[in-house]
Amino acid sequence: MTQCAPATEGRERCPEGRANNDEIAFQANTGYLWTWTPSGGGHDTGLKMAAGTSPSIDSYGDIAFQGPHGNLWVTGPGGTYNLGLGMAKGTSPSIQP
């Protein structure tokens, strides 16, 4: 069993950098960004995504996604931000794990 040390944002970090509570980000059939954890279940973030795109999540819980008007957005423990960067239609961002 991997031992994890306390880290910022009230989360524990494992030595290899992964959060010890696996989190999944996905676009629900409603078009909104949802997250899921084994301990907390599903959570609707209330953030609309562009159709036909997928979010990307890093080990710190930051999620990059294409918003409904084609801009790159990031949401996570530090807040939610529209970065104002236009993305090609139907593309999905990638965030460093």
pLDDT tens per residue across span 12-41: 555 555 554 589 999 999 999 999 999 999
Decide if 96 is inside a domain.
no
What are the C-alpha distances in Å from 67 to residues 38, 44, 61?
A: 26, 15, 18
- What is residue 67's predicted lDDT score, i.e. its pLDDT? 98
- What is residue 32's predicted lDDT score, i.e. its pLDDT? 98
Decide if 5 is inside a domain.
no
Decide if 1 is inside a domain.
no
Decide if 27 is inside a domain.
yes
Whole-angstrom Cα Rg for the chain: 14
Decide if 12 is inside a domain.
no
The number of domains in the chain is 1
Q: Tell me: the pLDDT tens digits for 62-90?
A: 999 999 999 999 999 999 999 999 999 99
Domain range enclosing 78: 21-86
Q: For residues 54 and 20, which has the higher predicted lDDT (pLDDT)?
A: 54
Type of residue at 61: G
